[in-house]
Structure 1
Amino acid sequence: MPKATPPTSQPSQPSQPSQPSQPERRPGPGPGLRERKKIKTRQAIRRAALRLFAEQGYEATPVDRIAAAADVSTSTVFRYFPAKEDIVLTDEYDALMAEAIRERPRDEPPTASLRHAVVGLLGPAAGAEREELLARLALVRQVPALRARMSGGLADSGTLLGEALAERSGRAPDDFEVRVAVGAVLGALREAVFHCLDHHHLPTATTASTTRATATRADAMTTAIDRALDLLSRGIPL
């Protein structure tokens, strides 16, 4: 990764107590009833869509059929997902990753913090969401329209990750080094995921996966991500 490692905080006088490497954070209030209903509806639409994509294929599945399977109106689908591609591409993971980075020790290298944030989404604790994430990633790799639209989502991801890294390093989110570091990391993660999809036969729109297979494929993706981030941290030696 390009040199964007945040400096370790040190006391200015020997008599002062050392500063903690990680700020204390108090958990905020959970989502209210209205927000929980929105999350539930969004998840129902996405799960119905993924099920239909697996059965019929992405291109052959219209939005009105997704709406019927999720027991909502077509206008409701478009209210939550402005385009069909967004059903696959949008999620709540960016905010979770940014928060996970903020919770890591400030003196930890950014690549290590990012590794913890990303791999957490692929670990056993993710449960059924892990299989869903793998299926979505496979669809992105297979469908040109999804790959074309993904660039906008990566820009949003970069904004959130840049803000989190900027807080850790005391830099501005639009700092040159922060922007380059985020761009390098996102590019490396994308290529690691695509490489794994190409070589480890992750779940596709027509391939069922068992719990064991999902775990094996998630482990393969974790290994690919580790390799990519390690390559960045070593200055990309070729």
Structure 2
Amino acid sequence: MMERHSTLREQRRAETQRTIQAHAVRLFTERGYDATAINDVADAAGVSPMTVYRHFPTKEDLVLVDQHRQLIAERIAASSPAQPLVRRIGRALIEAAATLTSGRRTPDLATSEQFLLDRLRLMISTPALRAKHLDNYYALQQAIVDALGDDTTEPDAAFHAHAAASACLATMHTALVRWAEDDGKTDLSTLIAAALAAAFGDDDLTPGADG
């Protein structure tokens, strides 16, 4: 019984967090990041400013907090260690993008494609967010290396994993910028696959393809 209540609490917490973030990104897009206060976000979401801060300790977090890191790490952990590092990481990035954009027509603002596009544009164009956005990439890189598991216990293996993760993430960033510039007209997972193929010469980086 306690476990069920705990699960319900986590679900409600996640729902509240998504609602707050969806309204924050909408307001930042409409009014400008600097011109929007935390109180404005709280009013739009129908919660108190304290609730906003409980879920998002800083204003930057309202844009940058996401679950992408866990999703990508899970994909990598489930992949075969027999595959090359770049392929394991690349496929995880492509599959995560496909999952994240699968709800492009959903009525849920926090999972819609427009939300993802607006959030990405804010990260790219807002000076106050760019530095912390880079910190998020470093955290994602470490999550990828950790997800590779025992393959990274030796110093040389860890170095190779960090290098592969860094290269894949830089390539993905190029695809994300193109996706934002193209207003989401091209499928994001397809763009990431094309960017990875161009960078690494691997035309087999497709979700579900055999290693």
Per the normalisation by structure 2, the TM-score is 0.77
Gaps of 5+ in 1: 1-28, 203-213
**Which aligned pairs between 1:182-193 and structure 2 lie closer than 5 A?**
182-193=165-176
SS of the residue aligned with 1:179? Answer: helix
In the alignment, residue 172 of structure 1 is paired with which amino acid?
T
Give the aligned CA root-mean-square deviation in angstroms. Answer: 2.5
- Cα distance between partner residues in 2 of 1:56 and 1:103: 42
Gaps of 5+ in 2: 203-211
Aligned pair 1:103/2:103, yes or no? no
| 2:69 counterpart residue number | 94
SS of the residue aligned with 2:118? Answer: helix
Higher helix share: 2
- Cα distance between partner residues in 2 of 1:143 and 1:116: 29
Rg larger for? 1
Given candidates 191, 199, 202, the residue that maps to 1:224 is 191
Alignment length (residue pairs): 188
| 2:11 counterpart residue number | 36
Higher relative contact order (CA 8 A, sep 6+): 1
**Which aligned pairs between 1:205-224 and structure 2 lie closer than 5 A?**
214=184, 216-217=185-186, 219=187, 221-224=188-191
- Cα distance between partner residues in 2 of 1:173 and 1:66: 47
Aligned pair 1:79/2:79, yes or no? no
Given candidates 141, 163, 174, the residue that maps to 2:146 is 163
* 8 Å CA contact 1:121, 1:130 repeated in 2: no
- Cα distance between partner residues in 1 of 2:141 and 2:97: 20
- Cα distance between partner residues in 1 of 2:58 and 2:154: 29
* 8 Å CA contact 1:162, 1:179 repeated in 2: yes
Given candidates 100, 120, 125, the residue that maps to 2:102 is 125
In the alignment, residue 154 of structure 1 is paired with which amino acid?
Y
In the alignment, residue 102 of structure 1 is paired with which amino acid?
A
